[in-house]
Amino acid sequence: MQQSTKAVIMMAALFTVAQIGALVMVASVLGEEYQAFEDPNDPLIPVYYLIAILFFTLLVLYIIKKGKENIVRMIFLGAVAYTMFIVLWATTSSLGLGVASLLLSLLATAALTYMLVKKPEWHVIDVTGTIVAIGVIGILGISLQILPVLVLLVALAVYDAVSVYGTKHMVALADGVTQMKLPILLVVPKKLSYSYLDQKPLRKQIEEGGEREAMFMGLGDVIIPGVLISSAFYCLAQDEILGIGGNLLVSLGTLVGALVGFSILMTFVLKGNPQAGLPLLNGGAIAGYFISYLLVFGDLSMGIVAPW
């Protein structure tokens, strides 16, 4: 099996682990107290979300251009550490460990954050990135109903395409973040001898035309389609079909659709050029959702509740 094929399979496995992990959290850990928005069915939430992303992206690019990468690094590390702690604390608390859950969560978060600062090798990036993805997917999944999630996926797919193929500022952002070794992407090496610490700037590597030693996938490409998967599980009816909840069946169907989109995306990625992931990933997830919803529930509402 070729090294690139193995890397694609490993990336697909990480993508799937994040989605299943989020579903487990939604099913057994997360409750209404973790919801991020007061009205989960507000279709304007994606608009606010997109504006926030645009503002934050431009701010980060400006800070990097001014040579103040340490500020960006501190902001991201703080956000990552906080998210990891929330995920670990919520998970261990559900096990009834009492005060021990707090101590274990603090120790684990401190250890992982320390490794991110001192030696952010690819496996450290992947572990922390997966934990963050699980938490964000789960929280957004219970915080948004189907309508705003669909609006969010379509809006961000368009934004991703424009930012990669049009303005190309997403490529510049990925390049800067890669050099800071921040856990906002997943890294799968093609060889075990690969070191993320020695990774060249992505843009330079592309211009040189050399073979990539690793595959990269932004956490946004994992999180955004995953929100629909978790939202479907949380919001849809649990009517059983052959002993399995309808909400779970639709969630798994949405996951299958996202993986189909992932497979198509990888055929382009293997050609060597940067690709916008969300058009195919979100498109696959949405198609998987619609098809599985119709098969499971058999009505044309698609689980959408009118906001007004």
Are 161 and 279 contacting, i.e. CB atoms less than 8 angstroms apart?
A: yes
| Sign of the alpha-carbon dihedral angle for 246, 287, 266, 181 | negative
pTM to 2 decimal places:
0.91
Tell whether 302 is covered by a domain: no
Q: Which of 273 and 156 is assigned the larger pLDDT?
A: 156
State how many domains the chain has: 1
b/e map 96-122, b = 16+ CB within 10 Å? eeeeebeebbeebbeebbebbeeebbb
| Sign of the alpha-carbon dihedral angle for 145, 216, 17, 118 | negative
Interval 196-205: pLDDT, tens: 888 776 666 6
Are 302 and 293 contacting, i.e. CB atoms less than 8 angstroms apart?
A: yes
Domain that residue 32 falls in: 3-297
State both tokens at 182.
């921040």
- Alpha carbon separation from 70 to 60, 78, 86 (Å, rounded): 11, 12, 24
Tell whether 275 is covered by a domain: yes
What was the pLDDT predicted at 62? 82
- Integer Cα distance of 246 and 298 in angstroms: 11
Tell whether 86 is covered by a domain: yes
What was the pLDDT predicted at 209? 59
What was the pLDDT predicted at 207? 61
Tell whether 218 is covered by a domain: yes
What was the pLDDT predicted at 97? 74
- Integer Cα distance of 108 and 120 in angstroms: 16
- Integer Cα distance of 301 and 267 in angstroms: 34
What was the pLDDT predicted at 270? 81
Interval 124-158: pLDDT, tens: 999 999 999 999 999 999 999 999 999 999 999 99
Tell whether 303 is covered by a domain: no
